[in-house]
A and B are shown apart, each in its own frame.
Chain A
Amino acid sequence: MQRATAAPDDILRMHQTLASNSGWGNGDKPLGHLSFRLSRLRAAATTGGADTTEILETAIAMDRELDAWAGNVPENRKYTVTNPQGSGSGSQRHVYSSIWAAQTWNNYRTLRILVRQLIVPRCKLGERGTHVALIRRLSGEVCVSAGCYQKSPSKYFAFFCCEGEGANVCK
């Protein structure tokens, strides 16, 4: 993904064979599968293996799939947003069901930012604002999820506010 090269076919086939419903819904379209497809699309965009229209249409379709993924997440895997008292206006904290849930949500956000990066330079000028706004919103959510504990390296391991680990976090 970092070098905009396509994931090898063998890895994709292995993933398809091993992938199972992990309880996140969208059993046939897990995030891992979307990430492999995105790596291929980014590679095509970089190497000129597809024309602009094809890249744009594929990216838009992929963005819809990611949106659907987020919409189909089971209740027990969703996170909540809180505004801690005394933390100043605009401060937010995310509360996830587990570290793994937080990680999955950040993977979703990252994939969607990367997809939108393919859309922004190829879409109509009047549509860019919407895509840019989503990129910024998702980036902010990544920062909020990572910034529950600020400044103190000793607390750095308690990265996410997780309900199941409440006794160990935010101290």
Chain B
Amino acid sequence: MIMGLIWPLTVVAEEELNADEVRRWAIRELRNIGSSIGHRQARLIADTVEEGMGSGTDVLRG
């Protein structure tokens, strides 16, 4: 079920209309998933989304 949270959190983190603090919270939760259960995809998504916030790119929308 933890993996089932990755997609919703990714969408929340990627959504530019959300406040930065909401997006960063979702990113932290993705990292928590990655570190708690060793789920590399969650960590990768968190890193990619956070990098995208800085560069203006979008993981989901390309």
Contact = CB atoms under 8 A, between A and B. Distances in A.
Interface residues of B, number: 26
A113 interface: yes
Given A113-B11, A120-B17, A146-B9, A99 B1 contact: yes
Interface size class of A (residues with CB under 8 A): 20 to 34
A4 interface: yes
Interface in A101-122: 102-103, 106-107, 109-110, 113-114, 117, 120
Contact of A4 (B25, B33, B61): B61
Contacts of A156: 2, 32-33, 36-37
Interface of A: 1-4, 46, 99-100, 102-103, 106-107, 109-110, 113-114, 117, 120, 132, 135-136, 139-140, 142-143, 146-147, 153, 156-157, 159-160
